[in-house]
């Protein structure tokens, strides 16, 4: 039996499953990767647990907790692999999914007319129930139990075992939905059911309906997946606490996640943003852009003072989802993104990806379409292998595929490959602009933090395109998302719509709603094993100017909410509105402020791993040189290669150079330099005069 104690973070990606274990006594981490297993993601998960324990010479008795980031729910939606779902709503609102919203994505600049996304539930699987509440929750018309039983029996007879329920104004009073749930359990006990008041107590009927239906749609698969892992994890580490990452930047026990699966939609990207935020903050940077490059996509977000931006206006695939989530913009610009020719004969990159199977051409696993990884390998920017030699790459096969593509464009090999990388870099740069410029922020004020297996390959080019002052590349960048899983707290979010003009605000009612939400949060944290003294409550409110369609979220200070505190919230709203949109009406008494939603986040703090300082080393930078190879930047040049683990604080690597480690590679372009800081981060900057 081992006396050492470790916590493990596991992030399952499209190509690799990343694993980080932290020794709770020393704070030191051990990292590794293992190929993902799309047919059964649990296999890759368990292989990762075994692999990292073997590397540390430990067994399952040393494990104190496991945290997991998963894409099971996301992939199910993106791939459209949904079972038939039933929808029960208020009589007269059966067309809410058809009406949807009138907003058109990307404006009107496209050469085609936008078509509304497909209904998540076909019209013939919608049933209505008489009964009506008003916006305050008062009953206008009683709940019709006969309609309710007829609806439940219809779905049972039709073989529909997944049902979503969303009644008008259920955010204000859930009595009708709760009775509908009881009726379904009596008439159709095998059904999996989600009710809107249990998923999203917030107004806007279309978004609430779709969010509820998405929760119902992914519940069976997420529940089966999490339960399977829980059972099989017990074979390695019996009874160990098992947490799943949520989109809001917190984790939740697996036992609770099965009841709210929609909260795991952006599980992996959220963990990466939080891990990068902690690493960059420790290095002294408080305004950070995170860029997580994987095999299929690149995820970017903005972090200010250690907190990633949050939104409730996100979506997964075609479906809006109003649950709180870290504000991540995703582009199809990963290592496996496929280069292809448009009908007009122009070069395009992504969003389609070769994924892990068959993967890029250089994997020699049946892939026939050139990818971003193939472009990097033929230019010499990555070595002819991955994971320290575990996965050999065929440069010849990649070269042949790119030459064939280049012939169609009348370009030589080098220009074809650099063209692919240039398009990929601009795709990533545009995503970074979306989370900065589009939010009223100056991108040049931020430090770029790149991670993921492919995240740092285009860092120098992104600095050129965006005018960024520096890029931070953490140690083991391919495992930052898994590391992030070990840095996050248990967190649950609660919301209640309370629409009121600021001038008419009923402070007693606001205090009562906040108190009720905090009580819910405390009960949930009690169930997660947190003492009341350790629990933290975070209050926010959504405000807008009367007549606006959308709100701005602002903090609400702890303590007694009196008139002065409410006025401070209004002033925070004016300032936030000015930051986002460039103007406000703080000095215009004709433009009233309106409160819309009250929110509480209940937080149970988890001990974060220490970020260990590197020990100084004797000798010069030559200790890290491993050789050289020909690499194409603006031309072919003999380029030294460095083993990153052999670098020490204060070392400076001037470009052109290639810095390699087990899970990733950092090309340092001519005119750039990489400086190693005290924590082993690489800080890429332009050399003076460049």
3-state secondary structure 200-215: CCCCCHHHHHHHHHHH
The Cα–Cα gap between 191 and 187 comes to 9
Task: Tell me whether residue 279 is in a domain.
Answer: no
The Cα–Cα gap between 23 and 129 comes to 56
Across the range 610-617, mean pLDDT stands at 84
Range in 52-56, 115-119, 656-660 with the lowest mean pLDDT? 115-119
Across the range 314-324, mean pLDDT stands at 74
Mapping DSSP onto H, E and C, the string for 528-570 reads CCCCHHHCEEEEEEEEEECCCCCCEEEEECCCCCCHHHHHHHH
Q: Which residue has the tokens 């790459």?
A: 393
Task: Tell me whether residue 456 is in a domain.
Answer: no
Domain co-membership, 217 together with 82: yes
Domain co-membership, 580 together with 625: no
Task: Tell me whether residue 450 is in a domain.
Answer: no
Across the range 78-103, mean pLDDT stands at 84
Tokens of 107: 């404006």
pLDDT per residue as tens digits for the range 377-430? 999 999 998 777 777 899 999 999 999 999 999 999 999 999 999 999 999 999
More confident residue, 73 or 149: 149
Domain co-membership, 90 together with 207: yes
Task: Tell me whether residue 639 is in a domain.
Answer: yes
Report whether 255 contacts 81 (CB < 8 A): no
What torsion, rounded to 10 degrees, do the Cα atoms 221, 227, 233, 235 define? -120
Range in 281-295, 347-361, 394-408, 649-663 with the lowest mean pLDDT? 347-361
Report whether 592 contacts 543 (CB < 8 A): no
Write the DSSP assignment of 280-311 as a string of letters.
HHHTT-SEEEEEEE-SS-EEEEEEETTEE-EE
Across the range 650-678, mean pLDDT stands at 94
Across the range 162-176, mean pLDDT stands at 95
Task: Give residue 55's domain range.
Answer: 6-77+223-260
Q: H or E stretch including 576? A: helix 563-581
pLDDT per residue as tens digits for the range 222-271? 898 999 999 999 999 999 999 998 888 888 888 888 888 888 887 778 88
Domain co-membership, 216 together with 103: yes
pLDDT at residue number 111: 39
pLDDT at residue number 689: 52
Domain co-membership, 239 together with 131: no
| Domain end marker among 237, 260, 283 | 260
- The dihedral of CA 103, 106, 108, 111: what is its sign? negative
Tokens of 253: 């026990």
Confidence check: pLDDT of 95 > 70: yes
Say which CATH number the domain at 61 has.
Answer: 3.30.420.40
Domain co-membership, 205 together with 146: yes
Report whether 451 contacts 488 (CB < 8 A): no
Domain co-membership, 543 together with 570: yes
The vertex-360 CA angle with 75 and 49, nearest 5°, equals: 55
pLDDT at residue number 451: 93
Q: H or E stretch including 180? A: helix 175-187
Residues making up the chain, counted from first to last? 690
What mean pLDDT, rounded, does the chain reach?
89
**CA neighbours within 13 Å on the CB side: how many for 216?**
29
Domain co-membership, 191 together with 89: yes
More confident residue, 332 or 157: 157
Q: H or E stretch including 500? A: strand 490-501
Domain co-membership, 217 together with 84: yes
| Domain end marker among 573, 604, 635 | 604
Q: H or E stretch including 126? A: strand 126-129
Task: Tell me whether residue 40 is in a domain.
Answer: yes
pLDDT at residue number 107: 43
Could you tell me which of 147, 157, 217 has the C-alpha nearest to residue 183? 147
| Domain end marker among 222, 246, 268 | 222
Domain co-membership, 86 together with 209: yes
Report whether 179 contacts 173 (CB < 8 A): no
Task: Tell me whether residue 549 is in a domain.
Answer: yes
Domain co-membership, 230 together with 198: no
Confidence check: pLDDT of 109 > 50: no
Domain co-membership, 95 together with 123: yes
More confident residue, 266 or 507: 507
What torsion, rounded to 10 degrees, do the Cα atoms 82, 246, 52, 228 define? -40
Across the range 369-380, mean pLDDT stands at 95
Tokens of 548: 């606006």
Using 50, 70 and 90 to split pLDDT, how confident is the model at 550? confident
Q: String of b and e for 650-673 (b: at least 16 CB within 10 Å)?
A: ebebebbbbbbbbbbbbbbbbbbb
Total number of domains constituting the chain: 4
pLDDT at residue number 112: 42
Across the range 566-573, mean pLDDT stands at 96
pLDDT at residue number 621: 93
Mapping DSSP onto H, E and C, the string for 140-194 reads EECCCHHHHHHHHHHHHHHCCCEEEEECCCCCCCCHHHHHHHHHHHHHCCCCEEE
Task: Tell me whether residue 371 is in a domain.
Answer: no
pLDDT per residue as tens digits for the range 186-233? 999 999 999 999 998 888 899 899 999 999 999 998 898 999 999 999
Task: Tell me whether residue 651 is in a domain.
Answer: yes
Range in 137-141, 171-175, 221-225, 567-571 with the lowest mean pLDDT? 221-225
- β-partners of residue 598 are 496, 541
């Amino acid at each position: 039996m081992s006396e050492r104690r470790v916590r493990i973070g596991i992030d399952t990606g499209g190509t690799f499953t990343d694993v980080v274990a932290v020794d709770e006594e020393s704070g030191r981490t051990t990292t590794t990767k293992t190929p993902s297993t799309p047919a059964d993601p649990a296999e890759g998960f368990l292989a990762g647990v075994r692999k990292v324990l073997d590397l540390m010479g430990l067994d399952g008795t040393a494990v104190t907790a496991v945290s997991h980031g998963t894409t099971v729910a996301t992939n199910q939606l993106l791939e459209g692999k949904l079972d038939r779902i039933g929808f029960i709503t208020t009589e007269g609102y059966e067309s809410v999914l058809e009406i949807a919203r009138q907003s058109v994505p990307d404006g009107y600049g496209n050469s085609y007319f936008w078509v509304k996304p497909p209904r998540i539930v076909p019209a013939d699987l919608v049933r209505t129930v008489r009964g009506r509440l008003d916006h305050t929750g008062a009953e206008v018309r009683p709940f019709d139990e006969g309609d309710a039983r007829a609806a439940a029996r219809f779905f049972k007879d039709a073989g529909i075992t997944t049902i979503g329920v969303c009644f008008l104004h259920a955010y204000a009073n859930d009595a009708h939905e709760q009775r509908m749930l009881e009726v379904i359990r009596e008439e159709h006990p095998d059904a999996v059911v989600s009710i809107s008041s249990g998923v999203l107590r917030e107004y806007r009927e279309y978004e609430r309906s779709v969010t509820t239906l998405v929760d119902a749609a992914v519940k069976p698969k997420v529940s089966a997946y999490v339960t399977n892992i829980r059972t099989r994890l017990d074979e390695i580490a019996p009874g160990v606490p098992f947490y799943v990452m949520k989109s809001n930047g917190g984790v939740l026990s697996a036992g609770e996640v099965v009841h709210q699966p929609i909260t795991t939609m952006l599980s992996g990207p959220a963990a990466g943003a939080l891990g990068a935020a902690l690493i960059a903050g420790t290095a002294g940077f408080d305004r950070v852009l995170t860029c997580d490059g994987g095999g299929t996509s690149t995820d970017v977000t903005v972090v200010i003072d250690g907190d990633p931006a949050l939104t409730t206006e996100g979506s997964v695939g075609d479906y809006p989802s109003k649950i709180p989530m870290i504000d991540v913009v995703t582009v199809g610009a990963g290592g496996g993104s496929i280069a292809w020719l448009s009908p007009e004969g122009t070069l395009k990159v992504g969003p389609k990806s070769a994924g892990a199977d068959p993967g890029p051409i250089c994997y020699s696993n049946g892939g026939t379409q050139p990818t971003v990884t193939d472009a990097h390998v033929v230019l010499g920017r990555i070595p002819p292998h991955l994971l320290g030699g575990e996965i050999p790459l065929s440069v010849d096969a990649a070269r042949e595929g790119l030459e064939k593509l280049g012939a169609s464009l009348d370009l030589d090999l080098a220009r074809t490959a650099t063209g692919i990388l240039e398009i990929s870099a601009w795709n990533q740069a545009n995503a970074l602009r979306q989370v900065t410029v589009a939010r009223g922020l100056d991108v040049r004020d931020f430090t770029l933090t790149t991670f993921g297996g492919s995240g740092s390959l285009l860092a120098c080019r992104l600095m050129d395109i965006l005018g960024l002052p520096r890029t931070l590349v953490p140690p083991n960048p391919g495992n930052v998302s898994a590391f992030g899983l070990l840095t996050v707290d248990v967190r649950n979010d609660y919301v209640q719509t309370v629409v009121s003009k600021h001038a008419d605000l009923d402070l007693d009612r606001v205090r009562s709603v906040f108190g009720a939400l905090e009580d819910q949060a405390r009960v949930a944290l009690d169930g997660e094993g947190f003492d009341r003294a350790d629990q933290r409550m975070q209050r926010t409110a959504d405000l807008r100017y009367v007549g606006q369609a959308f709100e701005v979220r602002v903090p609400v200070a702890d303590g007694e909410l009196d008139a002065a505190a409410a006025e401070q919230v209004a002033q925070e709203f004016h300032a936030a509105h000015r930051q986002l949109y460039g103007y406000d009406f703080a000095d215009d008494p004709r433009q009233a402020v309106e409160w819309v939603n009250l929110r509480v986040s209940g937080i149970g703090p988890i001990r974060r791993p220490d970020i260990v300082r590197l020990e100084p080393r004797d000798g010069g930078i030559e200790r890290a040189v491993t050789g050289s190879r020909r690499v194409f930047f603006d031309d072919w040049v003999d380029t030294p290669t460095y083993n990153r683990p052999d670098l020490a604080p204060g070392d400076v690597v001037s470009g052109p150079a290639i810095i390699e480690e087990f899970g990733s590679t950092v090309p340092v372009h001519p005119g750039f330099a990489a400086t190693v800081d005290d924590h082993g981060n690489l800080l890429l900057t332009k050399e003076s005069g460049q």
